[in-house]
Amino acid sequence: MATEDLDNPQSPEEARRPLTPEQAERLPRVHRLLLGYYGEPKLQQRWDPLTQLIYSLLASRTHAAATQHVMRDLERAFHAGPGNWEPVRDASITEIERAIAAVTFPEQKALRLKALLEQITARVGSLSLDLLARYRTEKIRAWLEQFEGVGHQISAAVVCFSTLRRRALSIDANHLRVAQRLCLTPRADAATTEERLMRLVPETWDAARLEEHHGLIQLHAQTLCGFKDPRCKECPLLQMCPSGERNLGELRLTGD
Ligand code: SF4
């Protein structure tokens, strides 16, 4: 694995160059090794695009299990759910905040969620995103990203994980950390990292495989490759990870 490109920006010429066999093998190898170590990740329920958007908005910086609980709380509190989110849109911000209290930043998310549902209704004419299925992936993502609180990561989750089933990689803080430690692409923000990682994704990977890949990276980020003290000695990716080799080298130097 080359480490020298870690902090070098990629020029447009480099971005257009065909992949070398080593580059083309990077993501499939990561995928195979993680699949062998963790087995198939448990994937979340398949939802319509609007329900996925609500889930993704609530999920930022919140553990998946906690977000799933909150989705159920939201449905119970307002007798709402897929195909029927109007009661949440019409509730007060205080009521929404109470129902989603277990996520991080509930005040901000309650405000954003209500505004988002109202704005979608105003633009579409009803509270549904089913019309998005008619559009190209880039157009759907640009449309979603015009709403406050909906960035690259959320738009990728909506197009890939929902019934839209389009190719995209949702790069959250966990995914970004693992990709950077593995030096899969030059270091950059989440949006640029997604663009660069998508160049490494084999043509044959569909949305289901990309979701599985995301699930494996999440599992890895929460199990061995945590924010603090990654457990590199046990890691199935150690042989291809410059950061892991460096971490273990430092441990040997300090005699731990
Ligand atoms: S070797 Fe260490 S830093 Fe690299 S992916 Fe594994 S746990 Fe993360």
Closest ligand 1 atom number to CA of residue 238: 1
In the chain, what are the domain boundaries?
49-161, 167-256
- Decide: 75 and 84 in contact? Cβ < 8 Å: no
Q: What DSSP line would sit under 205-252, residue for residue?
A: --HHHHHHHHHHHHHHHHHTS-SSS--GGG-TTGGG-HHHHHHHHHHH
Distance CA 30, CA 197 (A): 12
Residue 6, pLDDT score: 36
Please name the fold of domain 167-256. Answer: Endonuclease Iii, domain 2 (1.10.1670)
User: Same fold for the domain at 49-161 and the one at 167-256?
Assistant: no
Q: Helix, strand, coil shares of the chain as percentages rounded to 5?
A: 60, 0, 40
User: 73 in helix, strand or coil?
Assistant: helix
Nearest CA to ligand 1 atom 2: 232
Residue type, 172: D
Contact assessment for residue 19 and residue 200, using Cβ atoms and an 8 Å cutoff:
yes
pLDDT recorded at residue 250: 75
Task: Identify the residues whose C-beta falls under 6 Å from ligand 1.
Answer: 178, 181-182, 224-225, 230-232, 235, 237-238, 241, 243-244, 247
List Cβ neighbours of 198 (8 Å cut-off, separation of 6 or more): 167, 168, 169
Protein fold of 49-161: Endonuclease III; domain 1 (1.10.340)
The pLDDT of residue 17 is: 78
What pLDDT sits at residue 92? 98
Tell me which residue has tokens 């398949």: 46
Q: What is the pLDDT along the chain (256 residues), one digit of tens a residue?
A: 333 333 444 555 666 678 899 999 999 999 999 999 999 998 888 999 999 999 999 998 888 889 999 999 999 999 999 999 999 999 999 999 999 999 999 999 999 999 999 999 999 999 999 999 999 999 999 999 999 999 999 999 999 999 999 999 999 999 999 999 999 989 999 999 999 999 999 999 999 999 999 999 999 999 999 999 999 999 999 999 999 999 998 767 665 5
What's the 198 CA to ligand 1 centre distance in angstroms?
A: 21
**Index of the ligand 1 atom closest to the CA of residue 245:** 1
Q: What is the pLDDT of residue 14?
A: 62
CA of 99 to the centre of ligand 1 (A): 37
> 239 C-alpha to center of ligand 1: Å?
9
Q: To test ligand 1's pocket by mutation, which of 243, 245, 247, 251 has the most ligand atoms within 8 angstroms of CB?
A: 243
What's the gap in Å between 197 CA and the centre of ligand 1? 18
